[in-house]
């Protein structure tokens, strides 16, 4: 998938800022992120630390991310908060995002018990630390939505035990 794929339209503000701060580099520096440039989408953004191979620690979490899990998830391992399929895909993506580097996109639908289906899609892009040989973090933006009858998602809808009804993933050429 290319960075300008129409499926990534939901993340345009993040993509444009990421491209702007990267300049001629393959991956931009995390310190160059400007929250003011991301204001339109700041609540939907999270940053994950990629430096611990077995964990995807959430360093920053916007309000949408906290609402999705029904609590503050900063300093928690993302793979322990989601269904195993998403956790396993996240681990694989971490390896590839760091090694290649590239972006990562996934879209999934879950059906929480007693609730209507919820669909979410996420774009994750790598970030560098000064003098680091590999990306050390990833910034991600998620769009989530309910069914056509209900466009709002309930708090705490994503848990490790929620069944996945649909899942797709793709790597993004940056």
**In this prediction, what percent of the chain has a pLDDT beyond 90?**
75
pLDDT at residue 148 is higher than 80? no
Model pLDDT, residue 52: 84
pLDDT at residue 151 is higher than 80? no
For residue range 25-74, list pLDDT tens digits in order.
999 999 999 999 999 999 999 999 998 878 999 999 998 888 899 999 99
Cα separations in angstroms, 49 against 25, 110, 139: 20, 25, 9
pLDDT: is 52 or 4 the higher one? Answer: 4
Q: Which of 12-16, 142-146, 158-162 has the lowest mean pLDDT?
A: 142-146
In CATH, which of 2.40.160.20, 2.60.120.260, 3.90.1150.10, 3.30.450.20 is domain 6-172? 3.30.450.20
Nearest to 121 by CA among 135, 96, 98, 103: 103
């Amino acid at each position: 998938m290319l960075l300008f794929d129409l499926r990534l339209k939901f993340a345009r503000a993040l993509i444009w800022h990421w491209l702007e701060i990267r300049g001629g580099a393959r991956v931009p520096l995390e310190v160059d992120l400007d929250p003011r440039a991301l204001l339109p989408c700041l609540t939907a953004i999270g940053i994950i630390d990629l430096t611990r191979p077995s964990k995807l620690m959430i360093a920053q979490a916007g309000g949408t991310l906290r609402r999705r899990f029904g609590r503050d998830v900063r300093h928690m391992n993302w793979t322990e908060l989601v269904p195993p399929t998403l956790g396993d895909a996240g681990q694989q993506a971490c390896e590839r995002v760091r090694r290649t580097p590239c972006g990562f996109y996934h879209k999934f639908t879950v059906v929480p018990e007693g609730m209507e289906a919820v669909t979410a899609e996420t774009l994750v892009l790598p970030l560098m630390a000064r003098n680091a040989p590999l990306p050390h973090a990833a910034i991600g933006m998620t769009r989530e939505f309910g069914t056509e009858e209900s466009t709002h998602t309930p708090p705490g809808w994503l848990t490790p035990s929620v069944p996945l009804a649909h899942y797709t993933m793709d790597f993004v050429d940056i």
